[in-house]
Structure 1
Amino acid sequence: MTILPEIVIPHLEFSEQIRNFLLDSDTFSKTKSGEDVSEVFGLREYRPGDSWQKVHWKMTARQEHIWVKEYSLPIGASIVLAAENGRKEKIPGNFIRAFASLASGFLVYECPCYATWRMAETGQIKRFLLSVQEDYDEMLTVFLKDCREGIGNWDEESYQEAFSERYGRCLVLKEDGTLFVDEEKVWSVAMEKAFREQFLEAVIEV
C-alpha cells in the first residue's frame, strides 16, 4: 500500500514573464480554443467584440452569418519543476513532501508545469505534464516508486536535449530542501523540522 505524503499548498507569486509566457508546442488541445494563430481550432458564428481579423471571409461569403476562426491552445507549460537527489541513502520525507506540495501548488494556481526527475542508475529522465488532477495523481504514484528505487542528480542540459520546448522558469528542489529558481536559491525547507509550519510560511516567487 502506498502512503501518500502530506500536502501543504505554498504561496506562489508569479512574475510577468510567467504570466505572459507564450507556449512553444506542436501539440494542441482537442477540447479548448486558444490564441495560437498557427493552428485553427474551429469555426463559429460571430459574437459582438470578436476581432474582424478572425473573420473567415470565404465561409462568411457562402453563409447568411459572419463566421470567425477560433485558434488553438498549445498544450505545454512555462514551468519545469525538477527533483534532485545526490544522496545514496534514504530520501528525506520532507523532500518528498516539498516536491509533491510544490507540484500540487501549481495545479491550485492553475499554472501547468512539467514535473521531472532523473533516475540514478539508468539516467532516464521522467517527465509529467501537470494540468489536471489526474496528471498529478499519476505523477505522484510514479515519483514515490522512483524515490524508493533511487532518483539522482538533475542535469538541465540533458533535459533540454531530450525535450525541445521552451520554458520560462526551471525550479530545482535539492535533497537538502533547498529550492533554486534558474540556479538562484529562493527558499529552503529544513529536513528535521515540522513540515507544515515551514510550508505555510513560505512565499515562493517564480
Structure 2
Amino acid sequence: MPSDPTSGVRAGLRGLTTRGRSFLAAGITAVLCAYLLDQDALLRVGLLLAALPLAAAMVVANTRYRVASGRRLSPRRAVAGQEARVHLRVDNVSRVPTGLLLLEDKVPYVLGPRPRFVLDRVEPRGYREVSYRVRSDLRGRYPLGPLQLRLSDPFGMCEVNRSFSASDVLTVVPQIQALPHVRLSGEWAGQGESRSRTLALAGDDDVILREYRPGDDLRRVHWKSTARYGELMVRREEQPQRARATVLLDTREIGHRGSGPASSFEWAVSCAASVAAHLLERGYQTRLLTDTGQSVPGPGTGGTNTAADSSGLILDALAIADLSDGGGLSRAEEPLRTGGEGLLVAVLGDLDEEQATRLARLRSRTGGAVALLLDTGTWAGLRMLAPDTGGEQFQARVRQLREAGWTVLPVRSGDSLPDLWRAADGARTTSPYREEAGA
C-alpha cells in the first residue's frame, strides 16, 4: 500500500498496461494536434483519452482493499510422480466489495506452470476458494508462494501488483514400494510369539515392584511382596519392548552410477524409504543412517516419537538426500557401534576391499544384517554390453560379506525390490544370482 498520494500516482503510472499507455499516447497526440490546428473538438477528445488511463491509475493505486489469503496443501508430503493439490482461499475482510482481482501463485517450474485465477467480485466479509494441481517426478522440497494479487480497473488500463508474505513448502518424498512380510535371518521380533514366550518364562522374581500410591488399581497389588515388606506393593506398568532397526544408506558419489531419476542413487533412496516404512509398520523402532554419520531420528528422540513421527522425519530427510563426497563408510561406524544392536539393513553402492572388510567386522555387533548390494555397473550400461566387465570384483564383495554373516541381496538395474526382499527370507539358500555368487 502506498504511503502517500504521490507514491500512489507513481505506482499507478508504472502499472499502466499496453492499452492504458496507448490511450495516454493517443490523448497527448490529439492535444498537441488540436493546439497546432486550433481545433477545440479535437482538444476535448484528446483530454478525454488522456484522462481515462490517468484516472484509472489513480483509482487502482489508491485502492485500499483489505484482503487476507490462506494456502492448504493436500497432502503436505507428496510422492514423486503423484499429484498434490494446493487450495487457496482469499478473504475480503473490508466493508466494501472488491473489484476485479487477478491471482497468481509463485510455483517452481519443476512443479508446472504458474497458476492464474480471475475473481470478478468478492462481497464484504466474503471469500473465494480456488485450487490447482502440482506434480514432480523429482523428490525435494519446493517453496510455494508468496501469492501475488493483481488489481485492475474494469477497462484494463492499469494493473498494480500486491504480494502476500506467507509461503509454504511442498515436500516430494521418494516412491515407496510395499514389501512382503518375511522372517529375516537373525532378527529379533521384540513382540509376537517370541515375546510371549519370553514373558511366559518370567517368574515372580522378575516382577518390578514399587510402593502403592493412591489411585493405583488394586488388581496390580503383588500380595506376596506385600506380605514380605509389610506394606502394599504393586507391579509397575509393563513397558513393551520394541525391536530396533537401522537403515544404512550409502550416499557416496563414487559409489553410484547413472544420472537423474534412473540412477543407482535414486534407486537406493527409494529402497531405503521402502525398507524404513516397512520396518516401522512391523513395529520396529527405526532410524536412518547415512555414510556421513547423520542419524534420523536423532539421538534421544527415537524413543519418544511415534511410528508416524519417525516415518515423517525419515521421509523428509530422504526427500533432500544428496550425493556426498565421502570416500568410505567410516563416519557411520561409530553410530553403529554404539547403537547397532538391532537389525541392520544396508543399501550399498560400489565397495572396495577395505570397506567390505570394515562392514564385515560390524556384523558381530548387530542382531541381524541384510545388505542390498547394488551392481552399479548395470546402471551405467557396462554389464549390458559386456556382462563380465567388473563382475568378478562385485561377486568377491558378495562372498566376503556373506562369509561374515551378512544376508546379501545382489541388486541389478531393473530388479524388483519386493522380489528381492522376499528372497531375504532364507536368503542363504534362495538368494537371487546364487550361481553367480558362488562362481
Please, what TM-score do these two structures have when normalized by structure 1? 0.61
Aligned to 1:86: 252
Is the alpha carbon distance of 1:188 and 1:51 closer, same or farther for their aligned partners in structure 2, counting shifts above 3 Å? farther
**Deviation of 1:166 (Å):** 5.5
User: Match of 1:3?
Assistant: 172
**Equivalent of 1:68, from 228, 235, 244?**
235
After superposition, give the CA deviation of every residue in 1:157-193 in whole Å (9 maximum; x if it has no partner).
Answer: 32246xx345133221113651879762432333x31
List aligned pairs for 1:30-41, cutoff 5 A: none
Query: Which residue among 335, 349, 368 is the counterpart of 1:159?
Result: 335
Question: Could you tell me which residue of structure 2 aligns to residue 105 of structure 1?
Answer: 278
Ranges in structure 1 where 5+ consecutive residues have no aligned partner? 22-35
Which one has more relative contact order, counting CA pairs under 8 Å at least 6 apart? 1
The structure with more strand, counted as a fraction of residues: 1
TM superposition shift of 1:6: 1.4
- The superposition leaves residues 87-135 of structure 1 with CA deviations (integer Å, 9 ceiling, x where unpaired) of 246662211110100000101212222221132xxxx432324751121
Q: How many residues align?
A: 173
> TM-score, with normalisation over the residues of structure 2?
0.32
Aligned alpha-carbon RMSD (Å):
4.1
C-alpha contact 2:252 2:324 (8 A) present in aligned 1? no
| Match status 1:200 vs 2:418 | yes
Partner residue, 1:184: 406
State the secondary structure of the residue aligned to 1:170.
Answer: strand
Q: Distance in 2 between matches of 1:178 and 1:71?
A: 40
Of all paired residues, the percent bearing the same amino acid is 12
**Partners in 2 of 1:188 and 1:51 — Cα distance?**
55
Paired residue type of 1:103: A
Bigger Rg, which one: 2
- Say whether the 8 Å CA contact 1:178–1:189 is kept in structure 2: yes
Q: Are the equivalent residues in 2 in contact too, given 1:94–1:189 (CA < 8 A)?
A: no
Whether the 8 Å contact between 2:249 and 2:289 is mirrored in structure 1 is yes
Judging changes above 3 Å, is the alpha-carbon distance between structure 1 residues 127 and 138 closer, same or farther for their aligned structure 2 residues?
closer
Q: Which has the higher helix share?
A: 2
One-letter code of the match for 1:168? Answer: G
Note closer, same or farther for the CA distance 1:185–1:85 as it changes in structure 2 (3 Å cut).
farther
